[in-house]
Amino acid sequence: MENKQKLRQLVSQKDKIAKEIQEIQKECSHDDQHIKFVSDGNSSVGRTRWVCKTCDKVLTIPTNKEIEEWMKK
């Protein structure tokens, strides 16, 4: 029973933290962005995405041209 209670507390904390992160990302202006590999969480395959450097929110999918330019760096 102790483990079940501990698990509930941890899940509650995780949910609270996720909400705080969403609020911070919602208020961020995303002025400083870069392309990076991002995992979708379901696999080990990374995908290229525009990500905010300030709040780490995944924003958009880069165009092929943007990816080519990024790979040259």
Mean predicted confidence (pLDDT) in 43-50: 84
pLDDT for res 1? 63
Other C-beta atoms lying within 10 Å of the C-beta of residue 36: 16
Residue 45 has pLDDT above 80, yes or no: no
Q: Which residues contact 49 (CB under 8 A, 6 or more apart)?
A: 35, 36, 37, 38, 58, 59, 60, 61, 62
pLDDT for res 46? 81
Beta bridge partners of 52: 33
| Span 10-36, pLDDT tens digits | 999 999 999 999 999 999 999 999 999
Whether residue 59 contacts residue 30, with contact meaning beta carbons closer than 8 Å, is answered with yes
Q: How far is Cα 38 from Cα 5, in angstroms, rounded to an integer?
A: 33
Question: What pLDDT band is residue 48 in, cutting at 50, 70 and 90?
Answer: very high
